[in-house]
Structure 1
Amino acid sequence: MTLLEKQTGGNVLVTGILGSVFNLLQEVTNFTTQCHQVKDGGWGSQVGDRWTGMVGEVVRGEADIGVAPLDITLKRTTAVDYLVGFLYSKYRLVMRRPSASDFVWTAYTKQFQTEVWAAVAMVIVAAGVVNILVVCCSRRWGSSLRLSDALIIFTGCLLGQVLLAHYTSDLITALAAGLPLPTVANLDDINQDPSLDLGYLKGSSLTEYFKESPALVYQNTYQSIVADNFETMVESLDDGMKRVISESFVFMEWDVPILYNYGHDCRLFMLPSSYFPTQASFIIRKGSPLVPVLNRLLMEMQSAGILRKWQEKWTPQVTTCQQLHTDPMELKSLFTVFLLLAGGMILSVLILIGEVLYVKLVLKQTHITTHPYSSRIQQTPLVITNGTQLEGTM
């Protein structure tokens, strides 16, 4: 929304939507300016009796007007005056979109929940035990195949087909539809997930919103931020997005600057929930006589549709990030398959080594024990008497 181009002497040139508004105000009222970037990089929050950021510079007289989309809050209005609100937006949550590297170990197990895999394992063990009992009992009763044998075989085959059908259908659907979206959807989900950190711009009005709001979810969020000693705060929008991409970090900011600067980046995902709808405008020194003049000009701009025109001009196209083509599967997507294959090969080699050692070390030590006088026993010739076969020993 506000783009800064560095000039000589430490000054900056303001462009973008807000830059266009400010330049028109300057042209109509015929005043000259020298713009500089905020020294501490903050928007403006009260720390004790002192104001920081852009609000602090205007309060101390270091600047006459603050050109930025500053939220109109009750606490700030006690220190500075706002021009009429001409920007409307809300805060959104942004986190990293899941990638193939997030599912290296679960790419072929996430089709079933943990409880389902546990049930499958128990059924396999139970079916194996029942099968052994049925086979042993059938052999004892002298039957090669009984109804119980056929029933256990049929049940096992049916169970295998049903499980295989559900597993393959989910796997094929996942491969065709692409990676799943994040499982969290709102601020409450983030508070309940200890692996995620929530942050926003240092000195923004969000601290006041969270602290003053009576809603339990906002109070829990504020207490979590205080417990972290405000270490999740970032200096700029770019710093926040870098942490989102590289860490388990969720960034909260106006949706307009996010879409304007990062709407094309498909590595990011904006959660559907929105918070704190608010108006924003420029700030000016308390009691300045320029307030009614500038307010009248801003309202004329709004009535003429100039603000909407500039918003359309400076707003870039946002990428939908929908997968319109099929990409080749990466090695990390099939890593677990090759890992299972390698594990099976190693296991088979270990079993083979164990069998060889068993034959060489165990079976060779086994011998048949005979009677001590067995060498004296001689077999006598067979004698046939009246059709009867007799065998004698001496």
Structure 2
Amino acid sequence: MIFDGMEILTTALLELNEFDTLSIDCHSNDDAWQYGTTIINFIRQVATEGITGWVGFDESGFRANLTFDIVTMTENDFEQIGYWKNGIVHKTERWYHHLPSQEKMPLIRVTTVLNDPFVMNSKSSKELHGNDRYEGFVVDMMKEIGKFLNVRFEINLVKDGTYGALINSTTNEWNGMIGEVLRGEADIAVADLTINSNRELAVDFTYPFMSTGISIIYKKPTTKETSLWSFLSPFSTVVWICLLAAIVSISLIFFYVGRFTPYEWCDPHPCKHHEPVLENQCNMRNSFWCIIGSLMQQGSDVAPKLVSIHSFIHSVINISFHSFLPRAMSTRIISAIWYFFTLIIVSSYTANLAAFLTVEKVPFPFENVEQLAQQTKIKYGCLKNGATHKFFANSKIPLYRKMAEFMEQHPEVLMTSNAMGRERVEKQNGKYAFFMESATIEYITERYCNLTQVGGLLDSKGYGVATRKGAKIRASLSEVILKLQETGVLQQLKDRWWKQKGGGQCVAASTPLTELGLKNLGGVFVVLVVGALAALIFGICEFLIKTRISTNNSTTYPQDLCEEFKFVMSCQKSTKLLKRRSMKSLSQTPAATVGSGGITIPSGNNDQQRPQLLMMSNNMNDPNQPLSPTPTTTTVPTMIIDGSFEQNNHIANGVLGIN
């Protein structure tokens, strides 16, 4: 073609006898070659036989009478099987010998209806013919079926644009696609045609190529829900109740364990031996304050006990507090378990609260079909004379019958197409809901982000291919449909037309936030219960062992145990007197003496002898004087406080004046 073009240009220049040369400036448009138009006119007049055949041009400047040979590659060479001329393909006999012709295949007439994405008009700037006029899921599926069955399909739209409904039961007259199949105008009907019992009486259906069900399409509300009690959203009601019960129960356990264990009873003023009183800081108020304070991450400091105006003023001015720290092993166990419980609860609450406050929660006026039927502000409808309309009309469920009566009383809510239903849902701004198959809703919500599906499926059904009763092709179609499903071809076609071709416009909605329940936090409550039981066991063991050690000779262990248990369970006092040993045990306690070699305890068996605590003379503090060999003896009462060496040491130091 390049050679023919150069030859035509040369011929035109030769026929143009005279012309003047002119220098041309590439950067200026002032000077132009005056013979350009003349040469174009000469080229249009040229007609010659070239390598590519006859070369000539029409009035518009396009090549006229252009012919292309159609060849096919054989084992040895290319062989002509036809030719193309003026937009028409001319086939020779060799065409049918080398290429599998669709014209030899059986022709199956298909009737369908326009409904995105099953069947749509093809978008093209050229005029299309035959099956090329349409595209969609059904068109691609029929191509795949044709490959298996070695048949060709002729797709045409149904004349009345409906799916098919019984018009006259006496004459069995149907309209829509079902009617065309019954009248012989089409061999099969392929679309989003629902399989139901009424249609099964008139035609046969193949195995369903897609499963679906009736659902509701509705416009997303745009207002944000606000609540005064949003801070309670992270936990469910059951968790809040269990948390409150845990606070009360652990506080009571802490209180009773603190009273049981003797290690929480201590002398608040060990230097004042004339006030032999033990005090327990694990009273009811402090126990609750310790548990609540640690849960609120604020510690468990408590104000000191105020015994005078001076101490009150001093505590107010200096804001003095002291830490409420457990002393016994049992109370420390329950404190540690509660701290662990608090760590998990507070962390879970904080994380879930942040998510609840940042994610917008849009309220829907209804969440299922029951709530939609009970209200009166929002109207609802479906496709007129479609399978969904028949579902409500023939339903035995009172709720669906009520909704069918509403649609009959308000015929304006019934639409003639799904597209009209979608448009009305958008325009009504939350005042209209439309029932349609979930497959179509899924396609719409992939492209219209302001629409969504509300509730689940009202029923379960499928789309099938309709054939005449007893048609042999029905079994073949069902077999191929099953193969396409097993190999995943139908799923690939659905993904292509639902998600890839125009889908994915809307960002996938985040997973709805759910409050944490016992399924999420039950384990930490179990740990808390186990820890509380362990603390109780330790507290009881400490109580039994300490009571056994401090038993006097004048009483028995069961008597002391009963007396201590009554005192602990009375829950009336947080102080008690020091328990002294009997005079017999005191008389057996040796007197302590302080000599030049230090403190010594001489032995003695005289019951009438009063215990002596010997001290050095006053000159022992004078470094300039030698120690007196004869110690000065001071008589003081000796007390043994619950067998505690540390407390005896404190009292001795106070008596001796040792700081």
What TM-score, normalized by structure 1, do the two folds share?
0.58
Structure 1 residues 244-283: aligned runs within 5 Å: 244-247=425-428, 248-283=431-466
Residue type matched to 2:148 in 1?
Answer: V
Instruction: Give 1:76 shift.
Output: 0.1
Residue type matched to 1:240 in 2?
Answer: G
Residue type matched to 1:40 in 2?
Answer: D
2:407 alignment partner, SS class: helix
Instruction: Give 1:77 shift.
Output: 0.7
The answer to which structure has the higher helix fraction is 1
Instruction: Give 1:177 shift.
Output: 4.1
Q: Does 1:2 align with 2:118?
A: yes
2:155 alignment partner, SS class: coil
Distance 1:227 1:174 in 2: 43
Distance 1:26 1:14 in 2: 16
Q: Does 1:236 align with 2:417?
A: yes
Distance 2:222 2:200 in 1: 44
Structure 1 residues 242-391: aligned runs within 5 Å: 242-247=423-428, 248-316=431-499, 317=504, 319-321=507-509
Instruction: Give 1:320 shift.
Output: 2.4
Residue type matched to 2:457 in 1?
Answer: S
Paired position in structure 2 for 1:45? 165
Paired position in structure 1 for 2:371? 189
Distance 1:246 1:65 in 2: 37
Deviations 1:154-207 (A, max 9, x none): xxxxxxxxxxxxxxxxxx999954462312011222222222221122232112
1:71 alignment partner, SS class: coil
Residue type matched to 2:193 in 1?
Answer: L
Instruction: Give 1:210 shift.
Output: 1.4
Q: Is the 8 A contact 1:199 1:252 kept in 2?
A: yes
Distance 1:39 1:202 in 2: 17
Alpha carbons of 1:91 and 1:268: their partners in 2 closer, same or farther (altered >3 Å)? same
**Could you tell me which of 61, 82, 93 is aligned with 2:184?**
61
Residue type matched to 1:46 in 2?
Answer: L
Distance 1:225 1:219 in 2: 10
1:288 alignment partner, SS class: coil
Structure 1 residues 148-227: aligned runs within 5 Å: 177-178=359-360, 180-227=362-409
**Could you tell me which of 205, 210, 215 is aligned with 1:92?**
215
Q: Is the 8 A contact 1:185 1:273 kept in 2?
A: no
Q: Is the 8 A contact 1:42 1:202 kept in 2?
A: no
Q: Is the 8 A contact 2:369 2:455 kept in 1?
A: no
Deviations 1:68-120 (A, max 9, x none): 121111110111111111211122101111125xx9xxx9xx758xxxxxxxx
1:70 alignment partner, SS class: coil
Q: Is the 8 A contact 2:119 2:191 kept in 1?
A: no
Alpha carbons of 1:224 and 1:198: their partners in 2 closer, same or farther (altered >3 Å)? same
Instruction: State the number of aligned residues.
Output: 257
2:456 alignment partner, SS class: strand
1:270 alignment partner, SS class: strand
Distance 2:195 2:156 in 1: 22
Distance 2:131 2:384 in 1: 23
Q: Is the 8 A contact 2:383 2:389 kept in 1?
A: no
Q: Is the 8 A contact 1:91 1:277 kept in 2?
A: yes
1:311 alignment partner, SS class: helix
Deviations 1:353-393 (A, max 9, x none): xxxxxxxxxxxxxxxxxxxxxxxxxxxxxxxxxxxxxxxxx
Q: Is the 8 A contact 1:264 1:319 kept in 2?
A: no
Paired position in structure 2 for 1:124? none
1:181 alignment partner, SS class: coil
What TM-score, normalized by structure 2, do the two folds share?
0.36
Residue type matched to 1:196 in 2?
Answer: I
Paired position in structure 1 for 2:298? none
Residue type matched to 1:312 in 2?
Answer: D
Distance 1:303 1:322 in 2: 32
Instruction: Give 1:12 shift.
Output: 6.5
Residue type matched to 1:199 in 2?
Answer: G
**Could you tell me which of 26, 29, 35 is aligned with 2:155?**
35
Gap runs ≥5 in structure 2? 1-116, 229-353, 512-659
Residue type matched to 1:76 in 2?
Answer: R
1:34 alignment partner, SS class: strand
Deviations 1:16-70 (A, max 9, x none): 3322221122233333333222222222222333322222222222221111121
Distance 1:202 1:179 in 2: 35
Aligned Cα RMSD in Å?
2.9
Alpha carbons of 1:220 and 1:286: their partners in 2 closer, same or farther (altered >3 Å)? same
Alpha carbons of 1:262 and 1:13: their partners in 2 closer, same or farther (altered >3 Å)? farther
Distance 1:11 1:239 in 2: 26
1:36 alignment partner, SS class: strand
Residue type matched to 1:187 in 2?
Answer: V
- The answer to which of 78-87 and 257-266 deviates more is 257-266
Distance 2:129 2:140 in 1: 22
Residue type matched to 1:233 in 2?
Answer: L
Instruction: Give 1:8 shift.
Output: 4.6
Residue type matched to 1:319 in 2?
Answer: V
Instruction: Give 1:10 shift.
Output: 8.5
Distance 2:379 2:184 in 1: 37
Gap runs ≥5 in structure 1? 113-171, 324-394
Distance 2:129 2:143 in 1: 20
